[in-house]
Structure 1
Amino acid sequence: MSLNDQLDKFKRQQVKCQSTLSSIASSRAAAPPLRRPVPAAITQKPKPPDGAKFSNDTERLQLINSIRKSPVGAQIKRVIDLLFETRQAFTPELINEACHVDMKANKAVFDSMRKNPKAHYDGRRFSYKAEHNVNDKSQLLSLIYKNPDGIAVIDLKDAYPNVMEDLQALKASEDIWLLSNSQEDIAYPNDFKCEIKVHDDFKALYRDTDAPSDMMDVEKELLKNGLKAATDTAARRAAAQMQGIPMNKPKSKKKKKQEISKRTKLTNAHLPELFQSLNATSSRN
């Protein structure tokens, strides 16, 4: 066979091989991909044991159950706190949704809320009832000016959420006075036009009371009446003694009653009743 014949035969074999490869590739593309079998242990989800059912809301249900089994007083406080913090009106259904107190199912809670002095019930809704019906600083100032004898701060604390900040602001602007006694703070209007009536017996008691001249005696009297003294004279004297500073106790001085005589210089002639004794003495002489 000549060289040309061999070359033609080789070319025909190449064409045949190429067609075979093309047919194999087309047949593989049309066939679906092979999948490996997955073990049944992986595909099947484990089943929980019988009788073991858990809820995703278990903690919430436990909380609701504990609230509804709590004493009546605890449930009332929970409702009052809700009304105080929100200052909104709630139906029993809304109260149940907000704080889990079922007032429809618990008649004792419902009846107690209707009689509670801190709650107002209009027949349908409950709302918070403050001691004084004021809602802002201007109304607060007006209320204080209507009470020239003073109004207790403890009665104003629940008026509205930021009432204490408004009281301090009114004090800083000198619109009111905030004074303290041994038990509570009192708010007074800063208005000298206000007439404060003082009982005559109180005036007489004030005039007839003799204050001790020694501060230690003053402090003892304050302690007897349940008041705390602002000074500590005993400690101050002890510290002075340790430092060698002499501190003499004040001596009580008795006032000598001054009588009017002939030698008394008369400078208050417009008060003749002061000189009756002098005139009587002169007439006897």
Structure 2
Amino acid sequence: MALKEQLDKFNKQQEKCQSTLSSIASSRERSGTSSRQYVPLPAAITQNKPDAAPVRFSDNTKQLQYINNIRNSAVGAQMKLVIDLLFKSREAYTAEQINKACYVDMKANKDVFDRLKKNPRVHYDGRRFSYKARHDIKDKSQLRSLVFKYQNGIDVADLKDAYPNIMEDLQALAASGDIFWMTVNTVSKEGIAYPNVEDYPFKIDNELKAIFRDMDVPSDMLDVEKELRKIGLKPATNTAERRAAEQLHGVPNKPIDKKKKKQEISKRTKLTNSHMPELFNSINASSSRN
């Protein structure tokens, strides 16, 4: 109210000044004084402050159109803008702060608000929204511990959103030999991360062992390649082409010696199938004889 009273008082003073000037000009005209004679004006009139540059709404047309397009876009598109903001900043935002940052007005669009609260990649504490990674880890040490919990490997695609520089830490762990990062012939495009451990605590089912023992593997590589092609696999070798090249250059093709003595397992043999102890009965028998 005090500001309004001061404004009214100022307007009245202006009107009074204008009335005074008009009366002075009229009296001089009646007395024959030239109207072009200089008449000093009050200081309140002469000391005008420079006006600020007027705001033209046309200057912000593009921005207003951009904001309007966002708020009229589909719910999924608005959700993506918010999730991208949370992912890149890794900070917590209120609905008002989100509106200022990416122009998604969740108070005016209840669908966006409700669906973001239920989104698995978003955490809502009742007031603020923040990004929720698949795995709650923050540094290389926690990353290593997490990989070692997955003996059969963990998909790197599930790790890359944990924190900003996680891919660099993953490469460092692979370079130091703490983990194996397999990117070839994997289901995941990002690859699979395995812990580098000597022994894996797993058991092989007896039925699988029986299938392995009963499997008849052809002795000729031509037959092996043929069987691989039957099940849709591309052989790494081409025996027919290799043998044709050997004959062309005069290299004799060595016949397969089916009577070749089977190599026996000794104490010095490096064992990689320790999960099948029955294969090494001969070693145990020889040890008992000695």
Give TM-score scaled by structure 1 length: 0.60
Residue 171 of structure 2, aligned match among 154, 168, 176: 168
Decide whether the 8 Å contact of 1:213 with 1:250 is kept in 2.
no
Decide whether the 8 Å contact of 1:213 with 1:252 is kept in 2.
no
* Residues 41-85 of structure 1: CA deviation (Å, up to 9, x unaligned): xxxxxxxxxxxx752111111111111111111111111111111
Question: What CA distance in whole angstroms lies between the structure 2 residues aligned with 1:210 and 1:183?
Answer: 29
Q: 1:242 to 1:151 in 2, by over 3 A?
A: same
3-state secondary structure, aligned to 1:85: helix
Residue in 2 aligned with 1:133?
Answer: 136
Residue 245 of structure 2, aligned match among 232, 240, 249: 240
3-state secondary structure, aligned to 1:187: strand
Residue in 2 aligned with 1:182?
Answer: 186
Q: 1:115 to 1:59 in 2, by over 3 A?
A: same
Residue 210 of structure 2, aligned match among 204, 215, 231: 204
* Residues 136-165 of structure 1: CA deviation (Å, up to 9, x unaligned): 101101111222232221211111111111
Decide whether the 8 Å contact of 1:214 with 1:250 is kept in 2.
no
**What amino acid does structure 1 have at the position aligned with 2:211?**
L
Counterparts of 1:19-30 in structure 2 under 5 Å?
none
Residue in 2 aligned with 1:151?
Answer: 154
In the alignment of these two chains, the number of paired residues is 207
Residue 82 of structure 1, aligned match among 82, 85, 96: 85
3-state secondary structure, aligned to 2:59: coil
Residue in 1 aligned with 2:124?
Answer: 121
Decide whether the 8 Å contact of 1:87 with 1:127 is kept in 2.
yes
Residue 57 of structure 1, aligned match among 33, 57, 60: 60
- How far 1:130 moved relative to its partner? 0.9
Decide whether the 8 Å contact of 2:243 with 2:253 is kept in 1.
no
Identity %: 59
Question: What CA distance in whole angstroms lies between the structure 1 residues aligned with 2:251 and 2:79?
Answer: 64
Q: Which residues of structure 1 form unaligned runs of 5+? A: 1-52, 257-267, 272-285
Question: What CA distance in whole angstroms lies between the structure 1 residues aligned with 2:240 and 2:102?
Answer: 55
Decide whether the 8 Å contact of 2:222 with 2:240 is kept in 1.
no
Decide whether the 8 Å contact of 1:157 with 1:163 is kept in 2.
yes
Runs of 4+ in 1 over 3 A off after TM superposition: 196-229, 234-256
Decide whether the 8 Å contact of 1:237 with 1:247 is kept in 2.
no
Greater C-alpha radius of gyration: 1
Q: 1:198 to 1:87 in 2, by over 3 A?
A: farther
